[in-house]
Structure 1
């Protein structure tokens, strides 16, 4: 997919540079934010293009612009998330006023790109983007309020916050090709987002710094499992979450407890469960061999 990444990045740069309602300095700042965040993969763009290729009879290169719009939307959400959480050293978090303004512009530009595309079913794609973007924002609101303190409410929250964006990416690609919002595609697309969020949750607990969820008093599945136990380290963490300033957590003891208590295995169980659900749902859709193989690889 290297050519895809190159084409999407080129489309993204061209779209921002050609936006007439944004002056050159503002456009350059947003492009610098994109460059700061970029890596060798564009997973949301890839999901969109993979589904468009699988369901379309022919290939329209304008799909690269649509995929760029999706990545722009996701970046604006990432930027706002960084600013809200206060756990990032990116320049938009260092200068939050400029970051928020840039994110707002990215949000508008992304929806405009979808609406103005020449695809026959661009209106449907626009409605899909709006619906799932709002679901993701709703999930982020639940996350900020830190009310997802049990297994069920946490999974519901990340299905909306993270799962909505992967579902959106898959659906838009398929919808532009077929003119339909295909329910099974939405379901397995949402599972993909949950899987990657749970993997990130496990990874974030391995660091002992700004992104550590325990130090930030946030709830994730491993933390929820650990807090439910009746032992000394669980009691200390519960007191820490209650903001008892006298409590100081020992990094080695916390890391040992996460591993030995079964907290990580608990989260891994749900990763495997969502992988199973996604694969079962894929079997209900006439996917190409290439698309299914790629999706299974993405979920590993």
Structure 2
């Protein structure tokens, strides 16, 4: 099947296969984002939750549980937990980044205010822990609590690393492992744990989610310089304007001459950006092959994700998860 046709995209096929369980997840999300005393909570949450996101992370939890033969209901609760954690981080991220657009729509902090976004994000974090407690699994709580701490740690690390030209690829990997891959890994891992999978398979699911999340974020960072704003829901060059030192720029800086390094210091470290700087940055990225090298890294991580799935027997869900790793990179034509 071609990945170019919308109906053939792996996450769309996965969504159709898991439609019944995802309906339960969505019902639980709507039920638990309600607030008797603070109506702004469901208003802000609904704006983001109903914005048409792919629900990829909760689907990974459901897919992992089903691939491991689970037939209970706790995977639905864990999928909702994962989505609440994800939504909370988005609300907080948009405040930190001073973003005006998310998934092609105005951000909550723009429509309401920063205080509402931060506090509603806090509420969703609390809600997520209430739901995960209902599974009566200390191991699940340990995994998701660790992931939540790692996400916050990654975001704080990014604050100091993003505008420092000394940031190298190892630090970048640590940042994206925190801000993105940690939740992908946890989403997959708890699906295996709740299903009672073997330790080998639980570890494989964690490794799959970690590698998929890293590949996903690398491609997102690549698309910021080489994407279609209509398709991504973000303006091309947002990371540049926000002075984020992402992988394409890190690769270009590593090969920069003195004049080029001075340019990067001015626009990233000092934040003195002028008209035409984005075009100059794009020129430097292409001159040093930084875009292609970034794409190669994303392909490598996608390959690692697919390799982790070898711990599972052949099956429909395994094939879809395998295709999903390919599709994540295929987004970066």
TM-score band by shorter chain is: 0.7 to 0.9
Q: What do you get for the CA RMSD once the two structures are aligned?
A: 2.5
1:38 alignment counterpart: 52
Is structure 2 residue 78 aligned with structure 1 residue 78?
no
**Does the C-alpha gap of structure 1 residues 11 and 91 become closer, same or farther in structure 2, counting only changes over 3 Å?**
same
Residue 143 of structure 1 corresponds to which residue in structure 2?
158
Unaligned runs of 5+ in 2: 1-14, 327-333
Report the equivalent of 1:14: 31
> 1:135 touches 1:164 (CA, 8 Å); kept in 2?
yes
Alignment partner, residue 61 of structure 2:
48
Distance change (3 Å), C-alpha of 1:248 and 1:231: farther
Q: Tell me how many residue pairs correspond in the alignment.
A: 291
**Offset of 1:88 from its aligned partner?**
2.7
2:224 maps to which residue?
A: 204
What TM-score does the superposition give when structure 1 sets the normalisation length? 0.87
Q: How high is the TM-score relative to the length of structure 2?
A: 0.79
Report SS of the residue matched to 1:178.
coil
- Matched ranges for 1:95-174 at <5 A: 95-117=113-135, 122-146=137-161, 149-174=167-192
Asked if 2 retains the 8 angstrom alpha-carbon contact of 1:167 and 1:187, the reply is yes
Distance 2:242 2:40 in 1: 33
Compute the displacement of 1:260 (Å).
Answer: 3.5
Segments of 5+ residues of structure 1 without an aligned counterpart are none
Asked if the contact 1:87/1:210 (under 8 Å) is kept, the reply is: no
Contact preservation (8 Å) 2:211, 2:301: yes
What's the counterpart of residue 299 of structure 1? 325
Q: Which has the higher contact order (CA 8 A, sep 6+)?
A: 2
CA–CA separation in structure 2 for the residues paired with 1:36 and 1:201: 24
Distance in 1 separating the partners of 2:269 and 2:55? 39
Relative to structure 1, is the Cα distance of residues 188 and 25 closer, same or farther in structure 2, using a 3 angstrom cutoff?
Answer: same
The 5 Å alignment of 1:120-269 reads 122-146=137-161, 149-178=167-196, 182-206=202-226, 212-228=238-254, 229-230=256-257, 232-243=259-270, 245=272, 249-269=276-296
Q: Does 1:92 align with 2:111?
A: no
